[in-house]
Amino acid sequence: MGMSTMKKRLLLPGGALLAMMQAVSAHCPLCTVGAAAAAGGAAYFGVGKGAIGVFIGAFAVSMGWWIGNMLKRQYIPYQKPALILLSVITTVLPLAPLLSETRALYIPWIGAYGKTYALNAYYAGALLGGAITCMTPWMSRKMSSWRGNRTLPYQGIVLTLALLVGAGAIMQLLL
């Protein structure tokens, strides 16, 4: 039996198995480890922890929202917000020991000499990223209503990504 015939015989059952498999969607510790690895890679290249927090916060909120949309039946009151909060807690908090960084935030217009606050850049970034992810569907609908209920191609994705990149850049420059 030739090598190519043997490969075909091995590939046929494997291909049939792949064709019969259903898509599996999960949010697990592996997702958190993947986000931590991405954040670690970004930190290796010099991206600040506040900017990394923006994207991890956005990831956590969107993952919770996605899982909430997958469930067709409501099992508890406020199920979707509860899932979003659970996703944020199980994604943002475990990464905090690796990414937390306290920075000084000086606000000159408060008081005669200004005020300085201690700010955890990672948590501030995660909160900002999560807030952006929550606001962009509303902003996209508003943009569509201004245009006569027409959307641009990939409008929601482009808007979300542009706002997250902008927020990450601001966090990188400020903190």
- pLDDT-above-70 percentage for the chain: 77
pLDDT tens for each residue of 133-170: 889 888 888 888 888 888 777 778 888 888 988 898 89
So what's the pLDDT on residue 40?
66
So what's the pLDDT on residue 145?
86
Domain ranges in the chain?
29-174
CB count, 10 Å around CB of 145?
10
pTM over 0.75: no
Dihedral (Cα; 36, 123, 88, 171), 10-degree rounding: -70
Dihedral (Cα; 130, 32, 158, 123), 10-degree rounding: 30
Contacting residues for 9 by C-beta, under 8 A, at least 6 apart: none
User: Does residue 101 carry a pLDDT above 80?
Assistant: yes
User: Does residue 126 carry a pLDDT above 60?
Assistant: yes
Closest CA to 147 of 64, 139, 172: 139
pLDDT tens for each residue of 5-16: 544 444 444 444
Contacting residues for 151 by C-beta, under 8 A, at least 6 apart: 140, 143, 144
So what's the pLDDT on residue 39?
64
- Please check whether residue 67 is in contact with residue 87, taking contact to mean a CB–CB distance below 8 angstroms: yes
